[in-house]
């Protein structure tokens, strides 16, 4: 089966345990106002017009070819307890392709995904069964605000988070912390409610808003028009989580 990816980055240190290779898969059902990888939104290869050149962002690749490429670093992964992380875009949009790759590499390599969790329960469950670790994004716990900033409901996301919590798989909750959008006490209390009963939650990671988020939009013919103040600093209500015994890491 063929899939579409737009980057492979080696020696990543913030995408799961150990040193990892991160595979960026194209296509995402969300339209987060703060997305800093607009070339990952479309499921198809597309032209990117950089300052001095025009390049193709995204390429089709066979699952067996990608698996073979990833397996070349098997010894390195084992030496540092690392592995491969699939991100995007949203990797669950290419679930069948992803499953083919996972089935080839997982007996040998530690496998993780970074996901918005936006997928059917059936798709999420099938992929989860073939993973060792999950980085699960939690952008906004209030459904109305989630729709405002991402254009989709968070209900499928929260259902899949419940499945993850019951699965016994180790995971991290990741919150991209956006000034005025989700850096409120109310949202942190919502996150605490999701985290407090999660036995296999390793930590909550807070990712500060990337002020260079809009840099690549014009390259793919898009306009960056967030409704929040991009110059503001997000508020870190880490005390709400830490006082309840939840481990927090600010990246």
Coil, strand or helix: which one is 200? coil
pLDDT above 90 for 50: no
pLDDT above 90 for 173: yes
CA atoms within 13 A on the CB side of 221: 6
CA 145 to chain centre: 19
The whole-number average pLDDT for the span 83-96 is 98
Q: Residue 85 — pLDDT band, cuts 50, 70, 90?
A: very high
Domain ranges of the chain: 2-250
pLDDT above 90 for 160: yes
Q: Looking at the DSSP assignment, which residues form a beta bridge with residue 62?
A: 2
pLDDT above 90 for 216: yes
- pLDDT the model gives residue 52: 84
- pLDDT the model gives residue 183: 97
Contacts 24+ apart (CB under 8 A), 213-216: 213/34, 213/35, 213/36, 214/36, 215/36, 216/36, 216/37, 216/38, 216/39, 216/48
CA 219 to chain centre: 22
The whole-number average pLDDT for the span 198-208 is 96
pLDDT above 90 for 6: yes
- pLDDT the model gives residue 141: 97
Report the alpha-carbon distance of residue 95 to residue 200 in Å, rounded: 24
Model pTM above 0.85: yes
* Percent of the chain whose predicted confidence (pLDDT) is above 70: 100
The phi and psi torsions of 184 (rounded to 5 degrees) equal -100, 160
pLDDT above 90 for 94: yes
Report the alpha-carbon distance of residue 153 to residue 143 in Å, rounded: 6
Report the alpha-carbon distance of residue 127 to residue 112 in Å, rounded: 10
The whole-number average pLDDT for the span 9-28 is 96
Domain 2-250 sits in CATH 3.40.570.10:
no
Q: Which of 188, 195, 205, 127 is nearest to 161 (CA)?
A: 195
- pLDDT the model gives residue 174: 97
- pLDDT the model gives residue 166: 97
**What mean pLDDT, rounded, does the chain reach?**
96
pLDDT above 90 for 51: no
Q: Looking at the DSSP assignment, which residues form a beta bridge with residue 201?
A: 171
- pLDDT the model gives residue 208: 94
The whole-number average pLDDT for the span 205-224 is 94
- pLDDT the model gives residue 241: 97
């Amino acid at each position: 089966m063929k899939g579409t990816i737009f980057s492979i980055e080696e020696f990543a240190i913030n995408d799961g345990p150990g040193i990892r290779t991160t595979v960026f898969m194209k296509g995402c059902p969300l339209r987060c106002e703060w997305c800093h990888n607009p070339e990952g939104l479309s499921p198809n290869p597309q032209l990117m017009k950089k300052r001095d050149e025009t390049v193709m962002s995204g390429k089709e690749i066979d699952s067996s070819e990608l698996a073979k490429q990833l397996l070349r670093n098997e010894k390195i992964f084992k030496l540092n307890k690392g592995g491969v992380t699939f991100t995007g875009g949203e990797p669950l949009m290419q679930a069948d392709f992803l499953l083919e790759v996972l089935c080839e590499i997982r007996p040998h390599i530690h496998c993780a995904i970074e996901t918005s969790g936006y997928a059917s329960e059936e798709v999420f469950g099938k992929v989860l069964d073939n993973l060792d670790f999950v980085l699960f994004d939690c952008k906004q716990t209030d459904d109305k605000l989630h729709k405002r900033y991402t254009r989709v409901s968070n209900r499928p996301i929260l259902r899949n988070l419940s499945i993850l919590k019951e699965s016994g798989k180790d995971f991290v909750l990741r919150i991209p912390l956006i000034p005025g959008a989700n850096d409120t006490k109310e949202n942190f209390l919502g996150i605490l409610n999701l985290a407090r009963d999660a036995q296999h939650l390793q930590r909550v990671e807070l990712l500060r808003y990337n002020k260079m988020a809009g840099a690549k939009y014009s390259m793919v013919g898009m306009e960056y028009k967030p409704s929040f103040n991009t110059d503001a600093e997000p508020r870190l209500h880490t005390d709400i989580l830490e006082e309840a015994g939840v481990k927090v890491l600010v990246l």
